[in-house]
Chains A and B, each alone.
Chain A
Amino acid sequence: MLKTRVIPTLLYRDFTLVKGVRFDSRRVVGSPVQAVQVYNLRNVDELVFLDVTATTDERRPDFTLIDEIADHCFMPLCVGGGVRDIEDIRSLLAVGADKVALNTVAVEDPGVVRAGSDRFGAQCIVVAIDTKVDAHGDVTVWTASGSHDTGLDPIVWAKEVEALGAGEILLQSIDHDGVMAGYDLDTIALVSEAVSIPVIASGGAGTFDHLHAAITTGRATAVAAASMFHFTEQTPMEAKQYLAAQGIPTRC
């Protein structure tokens, strides 16, 4: 049986790992290489590594750093942040990323999703969708590290990226990010229902019950968490043991 993945997310900015609340007030949480080594030893299912200010700082991905962390990664590694074109995707795969997450570029130039999927395969093209409640109370898709409201409906956008050839969706709620009060279950459920590609829920996990709800109520294929693993004693392995005890197949 396919196991439900529990995925630690590492956010990177200016040579350090950070974690914030609602995409803001980010705190330094350590060195990326060390963190990856620890997660490798802990045998986690997968890692998501996002350079959170690359796009807003108009930087390309840090290929040297990714090369270095990938050397310590004997598990799947998804890398995002600052990807602008097909050449960036190729370069990230070449230095050791298994998947590349596209966010701002996917909205601005959807052809990159199509081209990346055709050339490198759908399995390595992840579209990250950041959502936030806008001034009218609607959940919309935001880009550029949560600074720009595209006005897109996340369900419509999710279907579109699936049609473009995305192999997976990383669905992150900006409002729930870092608050550790639970995921945006409504949006996760609506997006999971709308597409047939895997959906990774992200943003808001603080307890193992939150992970459980994202999988059962939200029907997420996988669950990602950052603050929970950085700022509390809870580990991915304990999370998987808890989920397994609730009848959810995990690798533990």
Chain B
Amino acid sequence: MQRVAIVDHGLCNVDSMWRAVEECGAKGDVTEDPRDLAHADKIILPGVGAFPDAMQILHDLGMADALREQVLGEGIPLLGVCLGMQLLAQSSEEVRPTEGLGLIDARVVRLVSRHCDERIPHVGWNEVWAAREHPLNAGLPAGVDCYFVHSFHMQCVDDADVLATTPYCGGFTSMVARDNVFGAQFHPEKSQVHGLRILRNFVEL
């Protein structure tokens, strides 16, 4: 059975992620101890909240270095979800300019509404269009609806890292994939059967 470490930085709903991981047939291990990452086959970095606070907590826990070591050194697959995806970037402008984990060459910027019906935060079910085929989104319908709740989004420097986009505020990157580093701006654990499929795909990578 695959062991999936779920990083707990105290700012989010880790219980839902744990339930979803178990539903996918893996063993979920919610942890704030960086040493636990060494025993994991996969790592999930969930997250809601503000970018600077989350980075600060990851640094304080020793998680930031441990994540980089496991992902870059050991090749362990990492999936960042929502704020967790944004934390993979080089930097974010949320609240104040802050450095991220630097695992994806990207920066995180605010969504800009183009008209009054594009309310922000972007809350609800919206389409996820795959930019290319990848094991992570295998078996999903084209333009599958997933659940989003966010005000910032990731802008990749290298288009090759973009795995999916979503049509809101002119279109933004909703999934990324670079080597063993993955991200989903939506919440797969809250996106019903299709979200669980993505998590199962990740577990089975």
Q: Which residues of A contact B (CB under 8 A)?
A: 1-5, 43, 45-46, 67, 70-71, 73-76, 90, 93-99, 118-124, 167-168, 196-198, 219, 221-222, 251
Contact = CB atoms under 8 A, between A and B. Distances in A.
Contacts of A4: 124
Contacts of A1: 126-127, 167
Interface in B96-125: 113, 116-125
A73 B15 CA distance: 11
B89 interface: no
Secondary structure at the B interface, as helix, strand, loop or mixed, is mixed
Interface stretch (B16-24, B31-39, B68-76, B132-140): B16-24
B150 interface: yes
Contacts of B23: 74
Given A2-B122, A45-B124, 8 more contacts: A3-B125, A74-B196, A97-B13, A98-B187, A98-B190, A120-B48, A121-B49, A121-B50
Nearest to A5: B124
A155 to B, nearest CB: 16
Q: What 10 A-B pairs have minimum CB-CB distances, sorted nearest first?
A: A123-B149, A96-B15, A3-B125, A121-B49, A251-B125, A121-B48, A251-B145, A2-B126, A198-B119, A167-B121
B11 interface: yes
A99 B108 CA distance: 23
Most buried by A among B121, B123, B192: B123
Nearest to A76: B190
B93 interface: no
A74 B83 contact: no
Interface of B: 10-16, 19-20, 23, 48-50, 53, 83, 113, 116-127, 145, 147, 149-151, 167-168, 187, 189-193, 195-196
B2 to A, nearest CB: 19
Contacts of A221: 119, 123-124
A119 B50 contact: yes
Contact of B147 (A76, A120, A222): A76
Contacts, number: 117
B172 to A, nearest CB: 12
Nearest to B95: A118
20 contacts: A2-B125, A3-B125, A43-B192, A45-B125, A70-B15, A75-B192, A76-B147, A93-B11, A96-B13, A98-B149, A98-B187, A120-B12, A120-B48, A123-B150, A167-B121, A196-B119, A198-B121, A198-B123, A251-B125, A251-B145
A74 B192 contact: yes
Most buried by B among A2, A46, A118, A196: A2
Contacts of B196: 74
Contact of B50 (A97, A98, A118, A219): A118
A191 B3 CA distance: 47
A198 B151 CA distance: 12
A119 B50 CA distance: 6
Contacts of B127: 1
Contacts of A74: 19-20, 23, 189-193, 195-196
A76 B149 contact: yes
A96 B196 CA distance: 16
A2 B120 CA distance: 12
A204 B180 CA distance: 50
Given A96-B15, A96-B16, A118-B50, A196 B124 contact: no
Contacts of A99: 149
Given A5-B124, A123-B149, A95 B50 contact: no
B87 to A, nearest CB: 13
B125 A120 contact: no
Nearest to A120: B49
Given A67-B15, A76-B187, A121-B50, A5 B121 contact: no
Nearest to A67: B15
Contact of B83 (A71, A121, A251): A121
A73 to B, nearest CB: 7
Nearest to B149: A123
Contacts of B20: 74
